[in-house]
Amino acid sequence: MANFFASRTFTALSDLHPNMANLKIIGIVIGKTDVKSFPDRKNIGSERYTFSFTLRDSPTCFVNAASWGNEDYIKSLSDSFRVGECVIIENPLIQRKEIEREEKFSPTTPSNCKLLLSENHSTVKVCSSCEVDAKLLSLIHLPVKESCDYYSLGDIVANGPSLNGKIINVLAAVRSVGELKYFTTSDRRKGQRCEVKLYDETESSFSMICWDNESILLAQNWMPQATVIFASDVRISFDKFRNCMTASVISKTIITTNPDTPEANILLHFIRENKDTNVLDDAIDNYLKESINWFSEYVQKTLYRTIDSSCGYIVNEASNTCTTCNKDSAKFKSVFLSFDMLIDLTDHTGTLNSCSLTGSVAEETLGCTFVLSHRARSGLRITILSCKLADPVEASRNLSGQGHV
């Protein structure tokens, strides 16, 4: 990049030091946070707004920049550029970085400095691609960490809860990008989330959650089964509800889309070679999701209660009586809620209809309390004694119908 700054029109980020003035800087935005607000200590009752981003102008140097101000200025400035765009910054304030405090929440950078943009003195202008050197644009595909410094998804799963809370790097392919979902927290703050399914040679499906608008916008442009990402500094957590490991995008995270590295190219070759298998896996996932949605609408929560030792059979909630002895359930000493259902089991050879999924097996399988319908169909009756998730590779291979018409 030496020739790029030869004219000295722009100051290289590697040359920055505190208290420099009247600077003009150019770089590509490789990371960006959402706008946030904080109570203004100087003006009680009002709020100050801020956002930050990471700027890069060479393979070896990138810096963090931040801006504070009123709501209109900060939101307008934040909306004026996105990750992947080149910007020219004039008259930023150059400050020394407080490494221990700031890098706890911001991306780790090789520079000892940071940029502070003010409404009264600084300007930010977005460059068109034709105005920028191609070498600068290519930096968007260069990870901010060493290309070999990452965990495979299989390693994360294998290490399990021992990685809970750790911040690591991940190289993976995008399997699918979920829908944007909105929520409201207990203290009435609004939020959003988008779940991205990742995979690599070692693991067929792994969840990464995007919580901020900037990473969600980035994820919306990823092409499933055609995009590879290098996510630096994501937080790994153990999801107790789903009993699996997940990754979360945080304020320290910088995601490089389709990184230009040997390791990423190997992974890209792998996903291209296995695209047909992945399409089948996704078809199975979609079928299962649709089946679950249909089931939840169809069942109408028909509840039954298992009664005490004097009878031991089920109570129909609609009539509130035992289905065997017709006694009023109010007279029973002990009752507990349970569910019972009929399901169909399918593999490449055919389907078993009206299989009973009941009691603790149903609870473990579905993660909730269910029991079998009292309307047993005629014919062959199957009762499930245990149930667990199948190996995705084996299921994919069998359901593809190898050796069967």
pLDDT grade for 286, boundaries at 50, 70 and 90: low
Average per-residue pLDDT for the chain: 81
Given this model, what pLDDT does residue 42 score? 81
Six token digits for residue 145: 């960490």
Six token digits for residue 385: 């004694």
Instruction: Assess contact for 147 and 261: CB atoms under 8 A.
Output: yes
Given this model, what pLDDT does residue 306 score? 42
Mean pLDDT over residues 87-100, rounded? 91
| pLDDT above 70 as % of the chain | 73
pLDDT of residue 288 exceeding 60: no
Mean pLDDT over residues 214-222, rounded? 95
Given this model, what pLDDT does residue 370 score? 62
pTM metric for this prediction:
0.69
Given this model, what pLDDT does residue 295 score? 47
pLDDT in tens, 240-284: 888 899 999 999 999 999 999 999 999 999 999 887 666 556 555
Given this model, what pLDDT does residue 315 score? 62
Instruction: Assess contact for 140 and 31: CB atoms under 8 A.
Output: no
pLDDT grade for 361, boundaries at 50, 70 and 90: confident
Given this model, what pLDDT does residue 17 score? 92
pLDDT of residue 375 exceeding 50: no
pLDDT grade for 117, boundaries at 50, 70 and 90: very high
pLDDT of residue 204 exceeding 50: yes
Highest mean pLDDT among 37-46, 273-282, 332-341: 37-46
Given this model, what pLDDT does residue 101 score? 81
Given this model, what pLDDT does residue 187 score? 78
pLDDT of residue 16 exceeding 50: yes
pLDDT of residue 300 exceeding 70: no
Given this model, what pLDDT does residue 277 score? 62
- In one letter, which amino acid is 150? Y
Six token digits for residue 43: 């003006």
Task: Report which of residues 381 and 173 the model is more confident about.
Answer: 173
pLDDT of residue 374 exceeding 50: no
Residue 252 and residue 31: Cα distance in Å, rounded? 9
Given this model, what pLDDT does residue 110 score? 94
Given this model, what pLDDT does residue 201 score? 95
Instruction: Reduce the secondary structure of the chain to three states and give it as a string.
Output: CCHHHCCCCCCCHHHCCCCCCCCEEEEEEEEECCCEEEECCCCCCCEEEEEEEEEEEECCEEEEEEEEECHHHHHHHHHCCCCCCEEEEECCEEEECCHHHHCCCCCCCCCCEEEEECCCCCEEEECCHHHCCHHHHHHHHCCCCCCCCCECHHHHHHHHHHHCCCEEEEEEEEEEECCCEEEECCCCCEEEEEEEEEECCCCCCEEEEECCHHHHHHHCCCCCCCCEEEEEEEEEEEECCCCEEEEECCCCCEEEECCCCHHHHHHHHHHHHCHHHHHHHHHHHHHHHHHHHHHHHHHCCCCEEECCCCCCCEEECCCCEECCCCCEHHHCCCCEEEEEEEEEEEECCEEEEEEEEEHHHHHHHHCCCCEECCCCCCCCCEECCCCCCCCHHHHHHHHCCCCCC
Task: Report which of residues 296 and 134 the model is more confident about.
Answer: 134
pLDDT grade for 303, boundaries at 50, 70 and 90: very low
Task: Report which of residues 123 and 326 the model is more confident about.
Answer: 123
Task: Report which of residues 4 and 85 the model is more confident about.
Answer: 85
Six token digits for residue 310: 């004097």
pLDDT of residue 169 exceeding 80: yes
b/e per residue 91-104 (b: at least 16 CB within 10 A): ebbbeebeeeebee
Given this model, what pLDDT does residue 338 score? 62
Task: Report which of residues 49 and 302 the model is more confident about.
Answer: 49
| Least confident segment among 38-42, 79-83, 289-293 | 289-293
| Least confident segment among 29-43, 155-169, 326-340 | 326-340
φ/ψ of residue 310, rounded to 5 = -70, -15
Q: What is the largest CA-CA distance in the chain?
A: 95
Six token digits for residue 108: 């780790």
Cα separation values, 331 from 314, 316, 321, Å: 14, 14, 10
Given this model, what pLDDT does residue 43 score? 81
Given this model, what pLDDT does residue 299 score? 43
pLDDT grade for 9, boundaries at 50, 70 and 90: confident
Among residues 180, 169, 179, 192, which one has the least CA distance to residue 255?
A: 169
Given this model, what pLDDT does residue 151 score? 96
Given this model, what pLDDT does residue 346 score? 74
Given this model, what pLDDT does residue 309 score? 47
Task: Report which of residues 358 and 39 the model is more confident about.
Answer: 39
